[in-house]
Amino acid sequence: MMDPSAYLLLSGILFGIGVAGVVVRKNVLIILMSVEIMLNAVNVAFIAVGSHLGDVTGSVFAFMVMTVAAAEAAVGLAILIAIFRLKETIDITELSVLKW
């Protein structure tokens, strides 16, 4: 019955770093990596709380998230490569065709 507050704090800091990376950075590759950091920050929180409550569901969810993260990374990188072939850049500010 450990105290999860330190882990949760770590998780929060990691998540914050990830968010900052997504919002601030312009390189799509870095943004993808930041997303990974956010996912793993959530994993930390899951495991910590699961361990605190003595419930394995938290650990199971961590595996689940890792699986999703792997799939996401595969799809994300594939899109990244497709974008690079089209635009010859991965600077996200250049990719603004979504606007009206």
Partner 1 sequence: MVDGILNYLWLVPALPLLGVIVNSVIALFVERPLLLAEEDHGAPSHGPSTRGTSAPMGEGHGASHAAPAYRKLVAFVGPAVVGASFVVSLLAVLALAARPAHDRLFVQVLFPWIQAGTFFAPAAFQLDPLSSVMILVVTGVGFLIHVYSVGYMSHEKAFARYFIYLNLFTFAMLLLVLGSNFLLMFVGWEGVGLCSYLLIGYWYEKKSAADAGKKAFIVNRVGDFGFLVAVFLIFWTFGTVEYTEVFGKIPGLAASGVLTTGIATAITLLLFVGAVGKSAQIPLYVWLPDAMEGPTPVSALIHAATMVTAGVYMVARTNALYLLAPTSMAVVAVVGAATALFSATIGITQNDIKRVLAYSTVSQLGYMFLACGVGAFTAGIFHLMTHAFFKALLFLGSGSVIHALSGEQDMRKMGSLRKHLPITFTTMFIATLAISGIPGLSGFFSKDEILWKSFSSGHGHVGLWLVGTAAAGITAFYMFRLVFLTFFGDSRMEPEVEKHVHESPYSMTVPLMLLAVLSVAGGWIGIPHVLGGYNYFEEWLAPVFAHGAEGAAHGGAHASAALEVLLMAGSVGVALCGIGLAWYLYRVRTEVPKEIADRVPGLYDLVLNKYYVDEIYDVAIVRKIVNGSIWLWEAFDTAFLDGIVNGIAALVKGAGERTRRLQTGVVGNYAFSLLLGAVILVGFLLWS
Told to check if 19 binds partner 1 by CB under 8 A, we report yes
Told to check if 22 binds partner 1 by CB under 8 A, we report yes
Please give the distance of CA 3 from its chain centroid, rounded to a whole number: 25
Told to check if 93 binds partner 1 by CB under 8 A, we report yes
Report the nearest approach of partner 1 to the CB of residue 95 (Å): 7
Residue burial 51-79, b: 16+ Cβ < 10 Å; e: rest: bbeeeeebeebbeebeeebeeeeeebeee
Told to check if 97 binds partner 1 by CB under 8 A, we report yes
**Residue whose CB is less far from partner 1, 60 or 81:** 81
**Spatial distance between the Cα atoms of 54 and 98, rounded to a whole number of angstroms:** 46
**Spatial distance between the Cα atoms of 87 and 84, rounded to a whole number of angstroms:** 5
**Residue whose CB is less far from partner 1, 3 or 93:** 93
Which positions lie near partner 1, rule CB under 8 A?
A: 19, 22-24, 26, 31, 92-93, 95-100
